[in-house]
Structure 1
Amino acid sequence: MAAPARRLCHIAFHVPAGQPLARDLQRLFGFQPLAARAAGGWRQLALRSGRAVFLVNEGAGAPEPLYGLDPRHPVPSAANLCFEVADAGAAARALAAKGCCVPVPPVRVQDALGAATYAVVSSPAGNLSLTLLERTDYRGPFLPGFRPLPSTAGRGWFSHVDHLTLACTRGSSPSLLRWFQDCLGFHHLPLSPGEDPELGFEVTAGSGQGGLRLTALQTPPGSAVPTLVLAESLPGAAGGLDQVQQFLAQHGGPGLQHVGLYTPNIIEATEGVTLAGGQLLTPPKAYYQRPGKESQILAAGHEPDQLALQGILLDGDQGKFLLQVFTKSLFAEGTFFLELIQRQGATGFGQGNIQALWQSVEEQAARGQEAGAGSHLS
């Protein structure tokens, strides 16, 4: 374990000039501007909802943008995860000693509010890079080099990032799991009892129809790092590309496929996003007609008709439930979406929930209703 991650600081996106991600995060999802910077051909805007911070890097300057790396990816992408570490310099040296590529060695930056040190490490997950940040000496609202923006009364639908899901090439999950274990201190989080970390949790779509393998990782108790989920296709899919393969094809390889944003009130958040013009996936009616689904929703204290109207998925038992709804892609290429999630006692991703979600989205995709929406599991 070379550089144990303490918390997720922000998720950085690289988009071309004029791409509306920053506007959409504010207008559709209630994010509020936090800090901004413009230099070297880049416009950088940090936005916040609760503890969830997104940094939108817009443009394509000659040097790398501050606190990130410009991968010159062919499509807009969630390209960087910034983790806080105890000592950025020591972490970068330790990762380099393990053979990791460190394209941005430790850099110290400061302004009137203090100083911070960061380094950027390449990950084995496609174009995704990792910023290792040490900022205990910084007193500002975001990071040195950024101009703080006036805070406004936001809608506050989301409190933090619940999980991050990477779409991976087939067979790569075990090596990715080992890399995140050895380099950042993650460990395997079983999604079902007795799960083999080399095999993950398999969701099959039927005989000869392929399916999905999910492998979840988390950091030790006490850290503030979201669960990391690795998603890859199982062999045997018929009738064209499955959901993960569609992401890989449109994105041009592995990458961060979606972010789960936690909301304490998913009904209110879903209604707010919809009224603002956000586009959410609508599960097939068959999802809510599954045997036992109505009684399950009622046991969780919700109305089946209301969840169906808003497209909210629910699963769980023994008084512990998970509610989820998914947006359509925030990029025209169909390579990134958001998940709104509320937990009523559930701490993981239950087996029944994953199976039902996979099947319902596959049914929907087969009917051609949500072209380009990407994979919407976990």
Structure 2
Amino acid sequence: MAAPARRLCHVAFHVPAGQPLARDLQRVFGFRPVAARAAGGWRQLALRSGDAVFLVNEGAGPAEPLYGLDPRHAVPSATNLCLDVDSAGAAARALAARGCRVPVPPVRVRDALGAATYAVVRSPAGNLSLTLLERAGYGGPFLPGFRAVPSAPGPGWVSHVDHVTLACAPGSSPALRRWFQDCLGFHHLPLSPGEDPELGLEITAASGRGGLRLTALQTPPGSAVPTLVLAESLPGTTGGQDQVEQFLTRHRGPGLQHIGLYTPNIVEASERMAVAGGRLLTPPEAYYQQPGKEEQILAAGLEPRLLSRRGILLDGDKGKFLLQVFTKSLFAEDTFFLELIQRRGATGFGQDNIRALWQSVQEEGARAREA
């Protein structure tokens, strides 16, 4: 591996001036602002919930925003994963030696509370870039160059980033898997027994036509980097584009499709977010009427009607359960969304849940076309 990552520092977004992402993260999802910066035509705001940190870069300056790279992308987008590394300089040199593009060579930034060094590398996944950050010993609320923003403690609905999912062009997952493996130290995480890393996990639609191919990657034990999931469409979808194809079209290429945020209490979090105006995706009614689903939910100590009211999906058995709920897109372009996830011993992503999400998005798309 060229640049082993230790942990995720933050996820960065690029949005035009006036786009309400920063407001919605606070009002709907319980994030609180911790640090800000305004310079060179950019307004940068770091928001936190637990260990999950989002950096919203708003505007479009003549120079690059601090700790990132402006991809000059046509639509609002989650554009950057910032990863802690032991040495930003050594990591950048190692990746450049592998042929990676390093548009922002190592830069050192200092303020009264310490210093940090970073470099930015382009990934082969659409407009996604990777910031390699070295910040040992920095004592500020976020990173050098930002001022602290006083704010009240957040509600604590979200504790950390569980996973990030990239929407990929058909057939590109194997090459992307090898790039993240060779360059950043990720390795294949099987989602089913005996899974071939070249094929990933195939989730077919209920109709048997089309579906998803998922390939999960994780870093070695001891690091705190979330699981990375590569998602691509399977051929054969009928009745219009599926959600990955729709993302590729509306986002104008591959990119970060959604982030899974871990919550210790998904029922409370989804209730509070709905009250705050959050728009949650509604699973098909048949999901909760599947044979054995009610018994499965009761075995987890939960009420079926409570889950169905908020669209919470549950999968698992033998005392290990996974609960998930998905938001609608945070952008008008209907691209990026968030997921809330709670794990009770389960480590995968729930094949039945993935299939239900697939079907619900397809049904919502059909309703939108009919409207």
Normalising by the residue count of structure 2, what TM-score does the alignment of the two structures yield?
Answer: 0.97
State the match for 1:375 in structure 2: none
Secondary structure of the 1:9 match is strand
What is the deviation of 1:110? 0.3
Take 2:299 and 2:365, find their aligned partners in 1: how far apart are those partners? 29
Deviations along 1:213-237, one digit per CA (max 9) or x if unpaired, are 0000000111000000000001111
Deviations along 1:261-280, one digit per CA (max 9) or x if unpaired, are 00000011001100111111
Take 1:26 and 1:353, find their aligned partners in 2: how far apart are those partners? 28
Secondary structure of the 2:220 match is coil
State the match for 1:3 in structure 2: 3
Q: Which amino acid in 1 is paired with 2:105?
A: P
Deviations along 1:95-146, one digit per CA (max 9) or x if unpaired, are 0000000000000000000000000000000000000000003111110000
Take 1:355 and 1:28, find their aligned partners in 2: how far apart are those partners? 27
Unpaired segments of 5 or more residues in structure 1?
Answer: 372-378
Q: Which amino acid in 2 is paired with 1:284?
A: P
Is 1:159–1:263's contact at 8 Å kept on the other side of the alignment?
yes
Relative to structure 1, the CA distance from residue 208 to residue 315 in structure 2 (aligned partners, 3 Å threshold; closer, same or farther) is closer
Is 2:282–2:360's contact at 8 Å kept on the other side of the alignment?
no
Q: Which amino acid in 2 is paired with 1:269?
A: A
Secondary structure of the 1:273 match is helix
State the match for 1:250 in structure 2: 250
Q: Which amino acid in 2 is paired with 1:321?
A: F
Take 1:78 and 1:368, find their aligned partners in 2: how far apart are those partners? 24
Aligned-pair Cα RMSD in Å: 1.4
Take 1:314 and 1:368, find their aligned partners in 2: how far apart are those partners? 26
What is the deviation of 1:367? 4.4
Percent identity between matched residues is 81
State the match for 1:227 in structure 2: 227
Take 1:327 and 1:365, find their aligned partners in 2: how far apart are those partners? 15
What is the deviation of 1:240? 1.6
Take 2:102 and 2:361, find their aligned partners in 1: how far apart are those partners? 38
Is 1:192–1:351's contact at 8 Å kept on the other side of the alignment?
no
What is the deviation of 1:206? 5.5
State the match for 1:355 in structure 2: 355
Is 1:316–1:353's contact at 8 Å kept on the other side of the alignment?
no
Take 2:131 and 2:309, find their aligned partners in 1: how far apart are those partners? 40
State the match for 1:14 in structure 2: 14
Deviations along 1:316-366, one digit per CA (max 9) or x if unpaired, are 111100101111100000111000111111111233333343344434544
State the match for 1:127 in structure 2: 127
Take 1:70 and 1:355, find their aligned partners in 2: how far apart are those partners? 35
Q: Which amino acid in 1 is paired with 2:335?
A: T
What is the deviation of 1:368? 4.3
What is the deviation of 1:315? 0.7
1:184-195 aligned within 5 A? 184-195=184-195
Q: Which amino acid in 1 is paired with 2:28?
A: L
Secondary structure of the 1:144 match is coil
State the match for 1:312 in structure 2: 312
Unpaired segments of 5 or more residues in structure 2?
Answer: none
2:331 paired with 1:331: yes
Runs of 4+, deviation exceeding 4 Å: 367-371
Secondary structure of the 2:156 match is coil
Take 2:344 and 2:338, find their aligned partners in 1: how far apart are those partners? 20
State the match for 1:288 in structure 2: 288
2:43 paired with 1:43: yes
Take 2:265 and 2:369, find their aligned partners in 1: how far apart are those partners? 27
What is the deviation of 1:299? 0.4
Take 1:152 and 1:91, find their aligned partners in 2: how far apart are those partners? 37
Is 2:157–2:263's contact at 8 Å kept on the other side of the alignment?
yes
Is 1:78–1:336's contact at 8 Å kept on the other side of the alignment?
yes
Deviations along 1:268-313, one digit per CA (max 9) or x if unpaired, are 1001100111111111211100111000000011000110111111
Is 1:210–1:234's contact at 8 Å kept on the other side of the alignment?
yes
Take 1:370 and 1:315, find their aligned partners in 2: how far apart are those partners? 31
Is 2:206–2:355's contact at 8 Å kept on the other side of the alignment?
no
Normalising by the residue count of structure 1, what TM-score does the alignment of the two structures yield?
Answer: 0.96
What is the deviation of 1:370? 11
Secondary structure of the 2:55 match is strand
What is the deviation of 1:369? 8.9
